[in-house]
Amino acid sequence: MKFLLRFLCFVAASQFALAARAELRAGAATVNVTPALGIEINGHVHDELRARALVLDDGATRLAFVVVDNCLIDRAVFDAAKALVFQHARIPSNHVAMSSTHAHSAGSVTGAHLSEPDAEYRAWLPRRLADSVRLAVNNLTPARIAWGRGSVPQHVFCRRVTVKPGVTYTNLLGLTGDRVKMNWSSPEPAVDGDFAGPTDPEVSFFSVQHADGRPLALFANYSLHYVGGVGPGHLSADYYGVFCQRISELLGTEKQDPPFVAIMSNGTSGDINNNDFHAKLPARKPYEQINRVAEDVAQEVFRVAKNLEYRGEVPLKVASTELKVDYRKPSPDEVARARDLMKDRDRSQLHTWPEIYAREQIILVEYPEAASLPLQVFRIGELAIAQWPGEIFAVSGLDLKKRSPVQPLFNIGLCNGWYGYIPPPEQHALGSYETWRGRTSPLETNAIPKMTQASLELLEKLK
Ligand SMILES: [Zn+2]
């Protein structure tokens, strides 16, 4: 009897879904994910870390976005959160886009060469991420949507700079094969100042309003690694948090109940930072550069958002797949050399870059032969959103934007998982930090062409 009732309810719900097709509803919410002092940081919390969630529903399909103030979140953490979302809100995992901002001052729940996560915080986070979606679902209300694109070229720079022809450059690992170098430091004799790749200056966004025209949420996307320059020992959401604050102010959303929610996601910024290699920038006070970038990006979004046409009937679509991509594994010789260098010392006793990367080889040797990458694309009306589980170079994001059969498109990086930097083959050939084999760069050199092809096939399904 109970089963029959449930079945009838299900039929009724489906009928309702068909009748209400494409009538948009939206809900948004944030939850505080700031760790206690002593977990990620012992210094000071400058601004609270948040998970920001937005749920869209067209009567037939429900999508959820969550963007988390954290540097690195791997698939296991996102999958645990998505399982809870399905359990409590019945949204399937492949309808949920969860990503980290990559703010370097927000701690990390995933181990990489320079840090290991706090186990307790890592275990605590999924439930909070799921909560953000459940709260957003509670806020679902009739809505309308529009999307736009602006350009903020002055804050993005390719951080990989070419080495002068004929010059032999010794990298941090003591090796001489790299033909590019990071722009972290000031210009030096080995570097000729040419950028090794393009930037993507676009700031893409979609804006959601209540049916009566009041702002409900705004989801933005910009391809910038992070800004940095926080106070000493500070925990902070970097420019992502300040952008959300500023666009909320510009749109005049204070005192709304439930509150307006702004979200800034990371795009394809694996090789893009905020350091202008050619300019001699004056020393900045803490947060000065963060505020500058946030202000410019928010003003550009606000400018474009003024002239949008909103629609209340927008179909939502999803396509997803699992893509097998090989890991780059160290050879038995390389493993033997790594063990030799480490001399059975643990992490706290390893200090030089060759020692740190020796440990990475010992970790990688335990990895399976291949990774199964979660690839997803969403469609909101004409707008397509591709989701990449790693740090993707700008050139690869631009390539998918250009080739997508659904236009326009934007890319969310560090989404649904983290498989390190994923440089395209021609950038692997140039070497440097993003290509050094370790947890920060574990995948085969041909991963990007495979991922691009798979994403194009998913987009084709949504055409
Ligand atoms: Zn990074």
Q: How far apart are CA 84 and CA 86, in angstroms?
A: 5
The answer, yes or no, to whether residue 20 has pLDDT greater than 70, is no
CA of 260 to the centre of ligand 1 (A): 29
pTM of the predicted protein model: 0.94
Residues 6 or more apart whose CB falls under 8 angstroms from that of 423 comprise 270, 271, 393, 434, 435, 441, 445, 448
- Neighbour count for residue 19 (Cβ, 10 Å): 9
In degrees, to the nearest 5, what angle opens at C-alpha 354 toward C-alphas 353 and 355?
90
The answer, yes or no, to whether residue 340 has pLDDT greater than 50, is yes
**Between these two residues, 114 and 309, which has the higher pLDDT value?**
309
- Token duo for residue 86: 């399905």
Q: Would you say 377 and 386 are in contact if contact means Cβ atoms under 8 Å apart?
A: yes
Residue 22 has a pLDDT of 73
CA atoms within 13 A on the CB side of 170: 3
The answer, yes or no, to whether residue 78 has pLDDT greater than 50, is yes
CA of 413 to the centre of ligand 1 (A): 11
Mean pLDDT of 78-86: 98
The answer, yes or no, to whether residue 140 has pLDDT greater than 80, is yes
Mean pLDDT of 324-346: 95
pLDDT band of 4, cuts 50, 70, 90: very low
DSSP H helical ranges for 159-286: 238-250
CA of 270 to the centre of ligand 1 (A): 6
What is the b/e burial string over 242-274, where b = at least 16 CB atoms within 10 angstroms of the residue's CB?
bbbebbbebbebeeeeebbbbbbbbbbbbbbbb
Report percent pLDDT > 70 for the chain: 94
- Neighbour count for residue 13 (Cβ, 10 Å): 10
CA of 135 to the centre of ligand 1 (A): 30
Nearest residue to 219 (alpha-carbon basis) of 129, 101, 103: 101
The answer, yes or no, to whether residue 14 has pLDDT greater than 50, is no
SS3 262: strand
pLDDT band of 122, cuts 50, 70, 90: very high
Residue with the two structure tokens 């953000």: 132
SS3 287: coil
- Neighbour count for residue 373 (Cβ, 10 Å): 23
Residues 6 or more apart whose CB falls under 8 angstroms from that of 237 comprise 47, 48, 49, 50, 69, 101, 103, 105, 106
Q: Would you say 242 and 366 are in contact if contact means Cβ atoms under 8 Å apart?
A: no
Mean pLDDT of 234-260: 96
Q: Would you say 373 and 176 are in contact if contact means Cβ atoms under 8 Å apart?
A: no
Residue 189 has a pLDDT of 66
Residue 268 has a pLDDT of 98
Q: Where are the domains of the chain?
A: 22-151+201-316+373-423, 157-195, 330-364
CA of 183 to the centre of ligand 1 (A): 14
The answer, yes or no, to whether residue 125 has pLDDT greater than 60, is yes
Q: How far apart are CA 276 and CA 280, in angstroms?
A: 8
| Average pLDDT, rounded, for the chain | 93
- Neighbour count for residue 110 (Cβ, 10 Å): 21
Residue 42 has a pLDDT of 78
The answer, yes or no, to whether residue 137 has pLDDT greater than 90, is yes
Residue 185 has a pLDDT of 59
CA of 400 to the centre of ligand 1 (A): 21
Beta strands in 9-84 (DSSP E): 25-32, 44-45, 50-57, 62-68
For residue range 176-228, what is the model confidence (pLDDT) as tens digits?
A: 999 998 876 555 667 777 899 999 999 999 999 999 999 999 999 999 999 99
CA of 393 to the centre of ligand 1 (A): 11
Cis peptide before 408 (omega within 30 of 0): yes
Residue 348 has a pLDDT of 86
Mean pLDDT of 33-55: 92
pLDDT band of 69, cuts 50, 70, 90: very high
Query: What does the DSSP assignment read for 143-195?
Result: EEEEEEEEE-GGG-EE-EEEEPTT-----TTS----SEEESSSPP-TTEEEEE
In degrees, to the nearest 5, what angle opens at C-alpha 262 toward C-alphas 303 and 98?
125
- Neighbour count for residue 283 (Cβ, 10 Å): 6
CA of 57 to the centre of ligand 1 (A): 33
Residue 9 has a pLDDT of 44
The answer, yes or no, to whether residue 352 has pLDDT greater than 70, is yes
Residue with the two structure tokens 């046409």: 309
CA of 114 to the centre of ligand 1 (A): 12
Q: How far apart are CA 400 and CA 415, in angstroms?
A: 16
CA of 204 to the centre of ligand 1 (A): 21
CA of 417 to the centre of ligand 1 (A): 14
CA of 225 to the centre of ligand 1 (A): 6
- Token duo for residue 258: 């439930």
SS3 421: strand
Cis peptide before 187 (omega within 30 of 0): no
Q: Would you say 424 and 395 are in contact if contact means Cβ atoms under 8 Å apart?
A: yes
Residue 182 has a pLDDT of 86
